[in-house]
Amino acid sequence: MSKATKKAAPAAHPEIKPGQSIELLKALHILTRDGALNQDSRRKLKQVYHLTQFIEPLIEQARAANNGGLYLVDHGAGKSYLGFILYDLYIKQNPQGAVVAGVETRQDLTDKSQTLAEHLGFAAGMQFINLPVAQATEHPDLPETVDIVTALHACNTATDDAIAFGLKKQARYMALVPCCQAEVASKLRETKSLMLGKTPLVELWRHPIHTREFGSQLTNVLRCLQLEAHGYRVTVTELVGWEHSMKNELIIAKKHQRGNRKAARQLHDMLDTLGLSLLKDRFFVPNFENTSESE
C-alpha cells in the first residue's frame, strides 16, 4: 500500500457522516488541511452535531409541511458555519426549494461565505445578506414568510431583533442560543434607586455583579414569555459541550397557536413589577383586543 493510501482517508473518521463535505470541514477548520481530526476539532464537531441535532427535525417538519420547500434564516451568521453545516448535512442531497440564508453585518464575512458556497457548489441554495438583523425584515431579497429562524450567539440585542424578524415573518420554528444582552441590565441599573424601598425584589439586582447576571437571565425569561405570548411553545435547555462560551442556553420555539394572552399579561406584569415598563416596546406582545386567544 502506498504512503498516500495508507494515510487515513478523512471519511474514515467515525465522527464524519457519510457524504459530508471534507472541503467544508477543512474550510471551517474542523479538519486540518491534510484531513486530520485532532482532539480539539473532534470536540468542536461534537458541539456542532449537538446543536444541529435539534435543528434537523425542525427542517424535516418544515419541509414536510411545505411541499419540500424551506426558508431558514440564520442571524448574526458570522462565518456562516451553522448554515453551511446544516446545508451540507440535511439539504444538499435534496436541495430543491430550500434556501439557507445568513444575515451578518460584516461584509468581509458575507463575501467569504459567498465564495465558499460557490466553491462547494452550494450557492444556488445559500444566500448571504450583509445587513444588521434589525433591517432584515424589510429586505427585498427575503420572503414575506420564513420557516425557521436561528441565531447562534448573535451579539447583544441581535437575538431580540432575530425574534422580531421571526415574529414578523411568521416563522414556524426558532432556535436561539443568545449572547450577552446589555439592554435589560442597563435599564435595571437606571431604575435601581427608584425601585429601592418599593419592592424587596430589588435585592435580586442591588449589587453590580447581580445586576449583570440577573439582567442576563431576565432577558432570556422575557424572550421566552414574548415567544409564548405570540403563540410559540418554548423549551429551554443547555447546549452541553459548548465549553468555549459561557452562554449555553438553547431556546427552541415552535409555533402552535395564534397567541397566548396569559403569557402576554405575565410578561407585562413582570416588566411593571421590576420597574422596566419602558422595555414593553422591545418585548412587544400581540394586540389581543377583540380576540379570544388562549388564556
Ligand X SMILES: C[S@@+](CC[C@H](N)C(=O)[O-])C[C@H]1O[C@@H](n2cnc3c(N)ncnc32)[C@H](O)[C@@H]1O
83 contacts ligand X (rule: CB under 6 A): no
Of 28, 34, 7, 39, the residue nearest 15 (C-alpha): 39
The site that binds ligand X (CB under 6 A) totals a number of residues, namely 18
Site string for ligand X, 2-41 (x = CB under 6 A): ----------------------------------------
User: Which one among 30, 59, 73, 76 touches ligand X, defined by CB under 6 A?
Assistant: 76
52 contacts ligand X (rule: CB under 6 A): no
106 contacts ligand X (rule: CB under 6 A): yes
User: What are the b/e assignments for 97-119, b being 16+ CB within 10 Å?
Assistant: ebbbbbbbeeeebbeebbebbee
Distance between CA atoms of residues 57 and 52, nearest Å: 9
Residue nearer to ligand X on the CB measure, 47 or 191: 47
User: Which one among 103, 163, 174, 263 touches ligand X, defined by CB under 6 A?
Assistant: 103
Q: Where are the alpha helices (DSSP H) in the chain?
A: 3-6, 22-27, 39-65, 81-86, 107-120, 133-136, 158-168, 183-195, 208-229, 261-273
CB of 179 to ligand X, least distance (A): 6
Stretch that binds ligand X, among 24-32, 104-112, 246-254, 285-293 (CB under 6 A): 104-112
Residue nearer to ligand X on the CB measure, 87 or 205: 87
Ramachandran angles phi, psi of 167, nearest 5°: -65, -45
Q: Extract long-range pairs of 271-279: CB within 8 Å, 24+ residues apart.
A: 271/222, 273/199, 273/201, 274/188, 274/195, 274/201, 274/218, 275/188, 275/191, 275/194, 275/195, 275/198, 276/184, 276/187, 276/188, 276/191, 278/187, 279/183, 279/184, 279/187, 279/222
Site string for ligand X, 151-190 (x = CB under 6 A): -xxxx--x--x-----------------------------
CB of 169 to ligand X, least distance (A): 16
Site string for ligand X, 223-262 (x = CB under 6 A): ----------------------------------------
282 contacts ligand X (rule: CB under 6 A): no
Q: Which residues bind ligand X (CB under 6 A)?
A: 76-78, 81-82, 103-106, 109, 132-133, 152-155, 158, 161
